[in-house]
Homo-oligomer: A and B are copies of this chain.
Amino acid sequence: MNTEGFLAARMARLKSSAIRELLKQSKMEGVISLAGGIPSSALFDFDGLREATQLAITEYPEHAFQYGLTEGSHTLRERIAELCEGRGVVASADDIVVTAGSQQALDLVMRAVVDPGDIFVVERPTYLAALQTLELAEAQILSVGSDSDGMIVDELAELLKTRKIKGVYVVPTFGNPSGVTLSRARREQLVQLAVKHEFLILEDDPYGELRFTDERQPTLFELSQSLFGNTENIIYTSTFSKILAPGLRLGWVIMPQWLLHNVAIIKQAADLHASALSQSVAECYLGLNRMTAQVEKIRATYKKKCAVLAQLLESELGDVLTFEYPKGGMFLWVRFREPRNCTEWMKKALEQGVVFVPGEYFFAENPDHSTFRLSFATATEEQMQEAVARLKRAL
């Protein structure tokens, strides 16, 4: 049987497979990976997770194992609302949909708002899997550059002179892969442009809590609320993956009501609701009051790991590489001082037993081939030392 005609046309546009195949290599014995965007399981609060799971299955077994609401457990949404209040994101349980990680939030929102050809603007570079959701929704993806203050919003303003856009996708705080944080001035400029030109802002905030300093930028959600008294065009999403446990596959999205109702309908068709067991564990965990200490621990550890990797890179490879010190998050975004194709170079690095993500995959257009992303979250200090030595040998 000829099966070729069975696939939908959109499948030809999806290009995730190259990087996916590439990263399978990172599982090979002896290879040190600085590639994955995964948190360190050495930092997981296993004791707290076990206590929460015990509580969920003994005290609320029906809640954990029976069907639940599409929007998510009401108790969990209330606790998420409390958590968000600490971030300056003031919303009620009824403004929240619990999703299978923030990844699903991106996908659901794109499906609800993007018609084929609608323009969505992203940063250059941006989160790889956000590009995938935009490609699946058949958006026209445009991009604007970024620098050490994050997305260059002036470029967006220029673009808006000639184009009507549906929305902007942005990771304003400790971006993936760039590590940079959008400055206060640009945040205000962005939310003002959004109201003036009537476009959506999808604010993706997986790393906001993982800050290494006391400096805290207001979320775009918070700024829009304070500048305009509403968040009718702001969609805020975050996740338990980086602060609790990614295996739970739990995130959430805070939306205006006109959108929430539609996202819930799509979620119902997509998977009915997020794992009730995962939700029960998360809500019990939040009830244990361990989250604040847990986040502190992650912050302190990542801060130290970041410093170690940065210093190694600087001392060993500072003559050929350059990067910004991130103020939080999980990533170092590195650029060769002289042009080099990092996808090609990765093969050499792999021969030496070290792997990273070549930068080009994070660009919707005009890729900078001289860039690559390193994660400092999972490797130990010894592994980092060895990894940097191997990178050096690969040159």
Contacts and interface: CB of A to CB of B under 8 A. Distances in A.
A247 B1 contact: no
Interface in A336-361: none
A297 interface: no
A143 interface: no
Interface in A374-394: none
Q: Which bracket fits the contact residues of A? A: 35 or more
A166 B49 contact: no
A292 interface: no
A7 B263 CA distance: 10
A246 B279 CA distance: 13
A62 B6 CA distance: 38
Given A8-B114, A16-B268, A275 B247 contact: yes
For this chain, the copies found in one complex come to 2
Given A6-B258, A8-B113, A64-B247, A1 B233 contact: yes
Contact of A136 (B16, B266, B278): B266
Interface in A1-46: 1-11, 14, 16-17, 20, 36, 38, 41, 44, 46
Interface in A125-148: 129, 132-133, 135-137
B266 A249 contact: no
21 contacts: A8-B111, A8-B112, A8-B115, A14-B266, A41-B66, A44-B66, A46-B65, A50-B57, A65-B247, A67-B246, A100-B275, A103-B269, A103-B270, A129-B269, A129-B272, A132-B269, A133-B269, A248-B276, A250-B275, A275-B277, A277-B281
